[in-house]
Amino acid sequence: MRQFLLDHGVFGWQLQFATASGNMEAHCDLVSPPEDLLWLVPQIAEMCRIDCPEFKIYPAHNIGYFGNPESVLRDADVELPFWLGCRAGCRWSGSKAAGT
């Protein structure tokens, strides 16, 4: 799959699990059941271990999340090798239109 994507000019792939909420609630058959995560997450971590500078896999926040492969799924050069939250939520504070 990686070579196919590279051959078609793709340099990164973000993987994210769907949840049975919002529009996906009407399509629950497309949502991976929780027991599948026991083999899916290690497979994704294995793909992340492959050193390929021209193609990067980006696991979304709902993959791994404090499980055994967490440090492989996240950037290795960070001080804390686990997901801290959305960068926007960690670095910015919001204000309402009224200025509060």
Q: Taking a C-beta distance cutoff of 8 angstroms, is the pair 5, 55 a contact?
A: yes
Instruction: Give me the pLDDT at residue 1, please.
Output: 84
Q: pTM for the full model?
A: 0.70
**Angle made by CA atoms 49, 73, 69, in degrees to the nearest 5:** 90
How do residues 42-78 score in pLDDT, each as one tens digit?
Answer: 999 999 888 888 999 988 878 877 677 877 887 656 6
How do residues 28-51 score in pLDDT, each as one tens digit?
Answer: 999 999 899 899 999 999 998 888
